[in-house]
Chain A
Amino acid sequence: EAGVTQFPSHSVIEKGQTVTLRCDPISGHDNLYWYRRVMGKEIKFLLHFVKESKQDESGMPNNRFLAERTGGTYSTLKVQPAELEDSGVYFCASSPAGYYNEQFFGPGTRLTVL
């Protein structure tokens, strides 16, 4: 069974540009989560989808971040316009319906904003 995949693995952009990160969860997993780790700090929750619906987006830093999960399959996280403090590693995780404490993480996307 394929794990959670994320694309790209690395992205380097300039301040003010737009970047879109993609996450493909494990097939059949209804729950999809986005987390972010700023260098040396804790992994912080951004938001949680159940199928295509946003269940909890309390961790989204501001309105420059937009997450979507069309059709309840893959998800995208768009940062527009990117700022320096958005740099970090963005992790996606997924879990089966009803099994919220069994989150499987992807390898992450390392975003560097210059």
Chain B
Amino acid sequence: DQQVKQNSPSLSVQEGRISILNCDYTNSMFDYFLWYKKYPAEGPTFLISISSIKDKNEDGRFTVFLNKSAKHLSLHIVPSQPGDSAVYFCAASVGNTGNQFYFGTGTSLTVIP
């Protein structure tokens, strides 16, 4: 059973506007969340993360919001740029235990110039 879900397979946004990518999870034990970005024929690259003790983390144009009560997180990209066009994966883990990341199915973002 999938514990991390990204219900939007794709998203198109105009350059300069905000991109909002959403992710839901079911496991209340998850306490660390990450977003990875993936270009075709490349591996996922780390973008931004957030610990469950926070509700927001910001890094330049990228902000991740965490709503623990709703088991929901979102990635905001402002302003969106054509180079942001990629597949974005949400991932979660249980503590710093060395164990696996649980990934969503990804959202393909297209930023239209």
Cβ of A45 under 8 Å from chain B: yes
The chain B residue sitting closest to A102, CB to CB, is: B46
Chain A residues with Cβ below 8 Å from B98 are 31, 48, 50, 55-56, 100
Would you list which residues of chain B between 71 and 100 have a CB under 8 Å from chain A? 89, 91, 93, 96-100
State the CA gap A31–B99 with chains docked (Å).
10
Asked if A105 contacts B100 (CB within 8 A), the reply is: no
Cβ of B14 under 8 Å from chain A: no
Q: How many residues of B are in contact with the other chain, CB < 8 A? A: 26
A 21-46 to B, binary, CB cutoff 8 A, 1 in contact else 0: 00000000001010100001111110
State the CA gap A103–B46 with chains docked (Å).
8
Most buried by A among B32, B44, B45, B106: B44
Most buried by B among A45, A101, A102: A101
Cβ of B34 under 8 Å from chain A: yes
> Chain A interface (Cβ within 8 Å of chain B)?
4, 9, 31, 33, 35, 40-45, 48, 50, 55-56, 58-59, 91, 93, 98, 100-108
